[in-house]
Amino acid sequence: MSVNGESRQLDILEIELELPSDRHIREVMEVEAQRQGLNIDKSRLAELQPLAGRNPMLARKIIKNEKLGLKQDKPEHTNYVVIMPIIIAALMAFGIVRFIGMGTGNKGLYITGGVCLVTGMALKQLGSVKGARKRLGQ
């Protein structure tokens, strides 16, 4: 950033925060329950706590849903399986097959590698289209 010909640099500290403990999440849930006027026993808090994971905002939302009587049986946080490295490796393998076919003069390898590479790239692009996302396990 330069102001009147002077160059200034912005120094920002990088801080890694620890995840809140399960006990802290339960305390947040207890405080929110008292704020909402709910009397929730410790066993019910123990059942609801895994739904929030380690997110205090989700813990508050779960208590609000409990007050409204909404059924909660699944956690809202999700885990996704990342398969992009496998896709990239397969596309590289098809590209290598194509170049081997081109180098050796083998038209079968050249055409097969090219067709598979183009098909794989098309499927990769179709897979990145934003649409209805399903959560893992649904």
Place of tokens 């895994």: 50
pLDDT of residue 3: 56
pLDDT tens digits, one per residue of 97-106? 988 988 998 9
Nearest CA to 48 out of 19, 21, 74, 68 is that of 74
Q: Is the pLDDT assigned to residue 138 strictly greater than 50?
A: no
User: 76 near 58, Cβ under 8 Å?
Assistant: yes
Q: 52 φ, ψ to 5°? A: -90, -15
pLDDT tens digits, one per residue of 35-63? 988 888 888 888 888 888 888 898 899 88
* CA–CA separation, 60 and 77 (whole Å): 14
Let me know if residue 132 belongs to a domain.
no
The structural domain count of the chain equals 2
Q: Is the pLDDT assigned to residue 4 strictly greater than 80?
A: no
Let me know if residue 135 belongs to a domain.
no
Q: Which residues is 7 bridged to in the sheet?
A: 2
User: 77 near 58, Cβ under 8 Å?
Assistant: yes
Let me know if residue 36 belongs to a domain.
yes
Let me know if residue 93 belongs to a domain.
yes
pLDDT of residue 76: 60
Tokens for 40, please give them: 């929730």
Let me know if residue 6 belongs to a domain.
no
Domain containing 101 equals 84-127
Q: Is the pLDDT assigned to residue 5 strictly greater than 70?
A: no
Let me know if residue 28 belongs to a domain.
yes
pLDDT of residue 2: 52
* CA–CA separation, 24 and 18 (whole Å): 12
pLDDT of residue 104: 92
The secondary element (H helix, E strand) that includes residue 6 is: strand 6-7
The rounded mean pLDDT for the chain is 81
pLDDT tens digits, one per residue of 118-127? 888 888 887 7
